Amino acid sequence: MQIQFSEAAPDKNMLVAHVVNQGTMPEGLEPALADGASAARFKGRPGQVFEGFAIRDERLARIALAGAGEADASGRGANLEKAGAALAGKFLRSGVKSMAIDLSGADLSADEAARVLLGLRLRSWAHDVYRTKLAEEKKVTLDSVTVIAAPEGTQDAWAVQDAVATGVEFTRTLVAEPANIVYPISFVERCQKAFEGTGAELTVLDEDEMAKLGMGALLGVGQGSRQPSRLLAIRWNGGKEGEKPTVFVGKGVTFDTGGISIKPAGGMEDMKWDMGGAGAVAGAMLALVGRKAKANVVGVVGLVENMPDGNAQRPGDVVTSMSGQTIEVINTDAEGRLVLCDALHWAQEQYEPARIVDFATLTGAIIISLGNEHGGLFANDDALADDLLAAGKSSGDAMWRMPIGPAYDKLIDSPIADIKNVGPRGGGSITAAQFLGRFIKKGTAWAHCDIAGVVWADKPGATWDKGATGFGVRLIDQFVADTLEG
């Protein structure tokens, strides 16, 4: 989606959209259009869209109104995004190729105008690359938007949101791609291409290098696959020299059969998005690098494929993690924590982070707890938890804090090793977080974000279509902006 700015009036043949606050109409709107909107019960509520026609300069003009809700409502930014997204949802596949958004009289700040454009851009993402017989009327046609009469400073504000949108789109593409296209090595290659020339430093560890470091937990997950495992780190030094970085770690299981503890066949195709945490971290790093964030940040992703092969890890096996802790593998489908524990330990050893936050589609149990509305947040530090909750509320990537603590340790104690990788049926997301907590060094502020219920959607949302949502990118970006750049 190309978004450009112009002071000139739009082409007379172009669809013109206005952003409308609840209970108002654009100044100078033709009475027939106003009457038509009223008859269609258009009130300007968030996400409402009305389309009509009027004669202007002896030509037929196509006009759209997008509702932005009450001007002083809480959640104003989210409502403005809904306005832009609603326009994209209505016209993306409508046959319209270009649209003008006329912001004259909308009474928006530069940041608010940018939020309208962000909503439009996010809702415009589509992944039709493999649909070779798509009917003409279902193809994406809208590819350019011209912004008219934007408030002063909008282009600068949009440059920031444009970088964020690019990160979200990168994540969505990674998550949406099938596992025969995105696997550990190709995930790395896509990142190398995306970050080329940006100033970010990329480090890649292959299986031999990880074996020398003792990453028996991560490597154990991938040993049944013909796709070699990888560890990827993306470093951006945009903050003060010598200041300890904040590190984000992502689970990147590019396909998860469950291994020997194989999953049921029904729905297994969805497990291509079990790398949603790694996707979120990679996309967030692309957003931060793209907007030249004034912060020292590192993204680390552990990339594996979990397959049931003659060489695959067995239930009952004991593996040794990089930290030296031994793990009894009770269930090979609880593999994400095995990937993360080595990635977390390596990141702490390599970067000595000020804070470390991991993102993972870790447990089905978090969906039972929170449904598809919130990600689950676990933390050993209240200040870090509060910062992430605030960033989630502000960005729209909502989180809900869940408990961890020593009382849960007994549930994952192993009779033959230091720890086992699953506990009892109850509190499955909690014991998974508790497992990860054992690999965090004393004194390090850490949070775990279980995003299994929010990286993929079975129906459209405000700013996404069915499929990959890009959850986590905006959360990370907002968190960095609030805590490291504020």
Q: Is position 156 within any domain? A: no
- pLDDT at residue 27, as a whole number: 86
Q: Can you give the C-alpha Rg of the chain in angstroms? A: 24
pTM of structure: 0.97
180 and 142 housed in the same domain: no
- pLDDT at residue 56, as a whole number: 83
Beta bridge partners of 332: none
CB 19, CB 116: distance < 8 Å: yes
Match 């192993």 to its residue by tokens: 414
174 and 94 housed in the same domain: no
Match 């780190």 to its residue by tokens: 233
- pLDDT at residue 55, as a whole number: 87
- CB 410: neighbour CB atoms within 10 A? 9
Q: Which of 102, 121, 148 is the last residue of a domain?
A: 148
226 and 90 housed in the same domain: no
Q: Is 90 exceeded by the pLDDT of residue 8?
A: no
Q: Is position 200 within any domain? A: yes
Q: Judging by DSSP bridges, how do beta strands 399-401 and 445-450 pair with one another?
A: unpaired
Q: Which of 148, 173, 188 is the last residue of a domain?
A: 148
Q: What is the pLDDT of residues 136-179, one digit of tens each?
A: 999 999 999 999 999 999 999 999 999 999 999 999 999 999 99
- CB 202: neighbour CB atoms within 10 A? 17
Provide φ and ψ at 166, rounded to 5°: -60, -40
Q: Is position 272 within any domain? A: yes
- pLDDT at residue 12, as a whole number: 66
Least Cα distance to 335 among 350, 319, 351 occurs for 319
Percent of the chain at pLDDT > 70 equals: 99
Contacts (Cβ under 8 Å, ≥6 apart) of 369: 376, 402, 429
How many angstroms separate the Cα of 359 from the Cα of each of 115, 218, 251, 378, 452?
Answer: 25, 16, 6, 11, 9
CB 326, CB 418: distance < 8 Å: yes
Burial 68-81 (b: 16+ CB within 10 A, else e): bbbbeeeebbbbbb
Q: Is position 155 within any domain? A: no
Match 């109104």 to its residue by tokens: 65
Taking the C-alpha atoms of residue 151 and residue 30, their distance in angstroms, rounded to an integer, is 24
Taking the C-alpha atoms of residue 20 and residue 31, their distance in angstroms, rounded to an integer, is 16
172 and 289 housed in the same domain: yes
258 and 349 housed in the same domain: yes
231 and 316 housed in the same domain: yes
Q: CATH number, domain at 343?
A: 3.40.630.10
Mean of all residue pLDDT scores within the chain: 96
Taking the C-alpha atoms of residue 338 and residue 312, their distance in angstroms, rounded to an integer, is 14
Q: Is 80 exceeded by the pLDDT of residue 303?
A: yes
- H-state helical runs in 214-324: 216-222, 276-290
Q: What is the pLDDT of residues 65-119, one digit of tens each?
A: 999 999 988 999 999 999 999 999 999 999 999 999 999 989 999 999 999 999 9
Burial 206-216 (b: 16+ CB within 10 A, else e): ebeebeebbbb
Q: CATH number, domain at 27?
A: 3.40.220.10
Range of the domain at 381: 163-483
Q: What is the pLDDT of residues 360-417, one digit of tens each?
A: 999 999 999 999 999 999 999 999 999 999 999 999 999 999 999 999 999 999 999 9
418 and 317 housed in the same domain: yes
Active-site residue numbers?
Answer: 263, 337
CB 216, CB 325: distance < 8 Å: no
Angle formed by the axes of helices 276-290 and 184-194, to 10°? 10
Q: Is position 182 within any domain? A: yes
Region 10-17 average pLDDT: 80
Q: What is the pLDDT of residues 163-221, one digit of tens each?
A: 999 999 999 999 999 999 999 999 999 999 999 999 999 999 999 999 999 999 999 99
CA neighbours within 13 Å on the CB side: how many for 293? 31
Taking the C-alpha atoms of residue 87 and residue 85, their distance in angstroms, rounded to an integer, is 5
Least Cα distance to 97 among 165, 4, 1 occurs for 1
CB 450, CB 376: distance < 8 Å: yes
Q: Which of 148, 172, 196 is the last residue of a domain?
A: 148
What confidence tier does 60 reach under pLDDT thresholds 50, 70, 90? Answer: confident
Taking the C-alpha atoms of residue 437 and residue 451, their distance in angstroms, rounded to an integer, is 17
241 and 110 housed in the same domain: no
CB 336, CB 253: distance < 8 Å: yes
Tokens encoding 57: 């300069």
Q: How many domains does the chain have?
A: 2
Q: Is position 411 within any domain? A: yes
Q: Is position 414 within any domain? A: yes
Q: Is position 98 within any domain? A: yes
113 and 212 housed in the same domain: no
173 and 144 housed in the same domain: no
107 and 226 housed in the same domain: no
332 and 223 housed in the same domain: yes
